[in-house]
A and B are shown apart, each in its own frame.
Chain A
Amino acid sequence: MRLRSKFAVKCAKATSSLIKKLNRGSGVTLPGYVARLIDPNILKELSGQVRKKTIVTMGTNGKTTTNAILCKALEHEGQKVIINRTGANMLNGIISAFVLATDKHGNLDADYACIEVDEIASVGVLPKIEPDCALLTNISRDQLDRFGEVDITYNKLMTAVTSVPKTTLIINCDDILSYSLAQESKNAFVTYGISEQIFDDVSRSEIRESIFCRKCGKKLEYQFFHYGQLGLYHCPNCGWNRPNPEYTAEHVVREDELYSFDMDGIHFDPQIRTPYNIYNTLSAYAALKTMGAGYEHFKEMIEAFDYGNNRESIFNINGARVQLHLAKNPIGFQQKVSHVLRDPNPKDIIIQINDTYQDGEDVSWLWDVDFQYLAESNARKIITAGTRKYDMALRLKYEDVSCESTDDMRASVLECVEQGTKNLYVIVNYSGLYQTNHMLTELEGKGGTER
């Protein structure tokens, strides 16, 4: 290793420990920045030290969960794995992940690297890492104020993957955007998809991207939609159609709130409560097989896997069941609405919408979610919170769903826990997740009695 890289690693590590000592956050991005300042080639240098393979995970929804499954699966096969922490998926965060994983000589000891990459950051990251595989979950509208429009995201991803022509893509062929990206890119690719209908009507928002053929511009015909633009499509004009996926999940059954299914003739009973986690599992499985990594312990691992990952957590506060969910874009939120409706019991719902840069400053996406279904959710109360609580309240008002708004989430949670239905759903977008999780954990510990 070059002296310059060693020095960069040392300084980055010093920065990290300084941040921790000063208690200024978790220190997952600044060390990367420092390392890159000293050695612009640091990422190439360190990622080159990974012994076996590197895979990046990209896409609008499901990145974090899929990446976590991959990492866990590889670890269960006895591999040493590097992974970047949740949210640290931009260039600096990724460099930090590599730097902080080195030993005291600045060397890496890893068989695999599983790296989640933000779609915009992908253009800068992929050429440096030169991954063996790139897994793409799906492409849909997300934070349009940051991405501009879906086609811009698409073009960024295209630039990223064509800069690494040797990288094998693992794509969801039910998503016309992913499939067309793979075909146009000229990279080798492997497909996964689900050919049976597993999502209910409520999960399927009317809002979808690109239902027009990307080859001839004519409207596509769909046998059915999963959600968004995902589904079984073909073009009646030029004949372009969804291919038969190389990897698939079949015989999907939902029983006692949990989904089970078969892959490669093996039956799986994981702790999956929402159908999109079947996609996440399937894509990770396809990636493992594509990389030629072992999968002997996959069944055992996945059946014990905690899909919650702080994004779906269940708390018990004073005998009340409190579920915390993250929903940060229309597709994700639609899935949550559908999840809430699958529970027929009386419930309370708190929705917190913030508009920090992280969340997306533009909240117009709230109008792309079919909230009218909440009228049938058997809710005692729906409460809106966050900086854009009135935008959320308006969204519900224009569906004739009544609600109230609060400035004090904690007080509202306590009210619902003490006087409510004992069945509370808290749905938040990005910036509220950490604090709300912290607050609910604390209330759970205290038994929720103190005000």
Chain B
Amino acid sequence: MKKLTIGHLYPDLLNLYGDRGNIQCFRKRLEWRGMEAEVIPFLSGEKIDFSKLDIVLLGGGSDREQELVCGFLKDIKDDFKAYVEDGGVVLAVCGGYQLLGKYYKTNKKTIEGLSILDITTEWQPERLIRNIVLNSPLFEQPVVGFENHGGRTYIGDHTPFGKVFYGLGNTGKSGYEGVIYKNVIATYLHGPLLPKNPQVCDYLLEKALQRKYGEEVKLEPLKDETEKKANSYIADRYSDKKYVLRETVKRHT
């Protein structure tokens, strides 16, 4: 039986915005296809052997908790980077996304990141909070979620995860959201991301399976009726110009 091992980094510090949904989605979509998933939570300070992992999840945390995480990152920096360069699958959400970069500069201090991605983040007092819809060249179905971040992330020459159809994205101005690098998807989208976007989940699972068991591995499609309905509800809502206008008016009054 095929099996993937998923490392959930620092759930004791980074557990905002339903990160558990992403884990559960990885796990169930493997199980429903007759494969096995092992999820290993690594609490802050624990040793991490990246060679045993097929997927790494780095979730969101508050600014204060992120600062605490920063201290533990130093120890794993080199191993984590080697894992990514070797094609290891990573899903980094919100705070996790920011930590993959060089630094996160808040109003008080600069938090040093993992420098796996050549990106930087700067804090601004106005938080970017709303539903978000992306179009990604990787997927037919739009990617939907919710964003809530004070940081503005500048991605330099990196490829963005998607183009913002509705919402704010990396900086609120760039028109793009997230980063995709090798087998890393880094994004501000939670909601959580994967259950409503099974195409993204399957993309990552397939990459991880291919890395472990060879290029020929393909995932069987699942029925995904509820997933599609939940996804379309948001995608359709923000394709409706009248709805968007109403929401914009409400937001400013």
Contacts and interface: CB of A to CB of B under 8 A. Distances in A.
Interface of A: 141, 144-145, 148-151, 206-207, 211-212, 217, 219, 357, 361-368, 387-388, 390-391, 393-395, 397-400, 405
A219 B226 contact: no
A357 B24 contact: no
Contacts of A367: 18-21, 24, 192, 195
Nearest to B95: A149
B152 interface: no
Contact of B250 (A357, A365, A390): A357
B226 A397 contact: yes
B62 A150 contact: yes
Given A150-B62, A361-B146, A363-B191, A145 B129 contact: yes
B38 interface: no
B16 interface: yes
B109 to A, nearest CB: 14
A149 B146 contact: no
B227 interface: yes
Contacts of A212: 12-13, 65, 68
B5 interface: no
A148 B190 CA distance: 14
A368 B18 contact: yes
Given A149-B63, A364-B191, A394 B18 contact: no
Contacts of B68: 212, 217
B135 interface: no
B186 to A, nearest CB: 18
A362 B226 contact: no
Interface string B115-151: 0000000000001011100000000000000101010
A365 B18 contact: yes
Contacts of B25: 398
A398 B190 contact: no
Given A207-B15, A367-B192, A394 B146 contact: no
Interface residues of B, number: 36
Contacts of A368: 18, 20
Nearest to B194: A398
Contact of B131 (A149, A207, A361, A399): A361
Contacts of B62: 149-151
Contact of B146 (A141, A211, A362, A398): A362
A219 B21 CA distance: 25
B130 A361 contact: yes
B129 A148 contact: yes
A375 to B, nearest CB: 14
B150 A148 contact: yes
A429 to B, nearest CB: 15
A400 B21 CA distance: 13
A145 B229 contact: no
11 contacts: A141-B16, A144-B17, A357-B250, A364-B17, A364-B146, A367-B19, A367-B192, A393-B230, A394-B227, A394-B230, A395-B21
A363 B196 CA distance: 12
A362 B127 CA distance: 14
B28 to A, nearest CB: 5
A398 B130 CA distance: 24
A39 to B, nearest CB: 23
Contacts of A217: 68
Contacts of A362: 17, 129, 146, 148, 191
B64 interface: yes
Contacts of B64: 151
A238 to B, nearest CB: 15
B148 A144 contact: yes
A86 to B, nearest CB: 23
Nearest to B251: A357
Contacts of A395: 21, 195
A369 B66 CA distance: 23
B195 A398 contact: yes
B18 A398 contact: no
A368 B148 CA distance: 17
A42 B24 CA distance: 52
Contacts of A397: 226
Contacts of B148: 144-145, 148, 362
Contacts of B12: 211-212, 219
* From A212, A390, A397, A400, residue with most partner B Cβ within 10 Å: A390
A364 B21 contact: yes
Contacts of A219: 12, 44
A368 B19 CA distance: 8
Contacts of B129: 145, 148, 362
Contact of A398 (B24, B127, B229, B250): B24
Contacts of B63: 149, 151
A390 B15 contact: no
Given A390-B226, A397-B226, 10 more contacts: A148-B127, A212-B65, A219-B44, A362-B146, A364-B190, A367-B18, A367-B21, A368-B18, A391-B196, A394-B196
B220 to A, nearest CB: 18
A423 B131 CA distance: 36
B226 A364 contact: no
Contacts of B229: 390, 393, 405
Given A364-B21, A398-B25, A390 B146 contact: no
A363 B17 CA distance: 9
Contacts of A361: 130-131, 146
A391 B64 CA distance: 30
A394 B127 contact: no
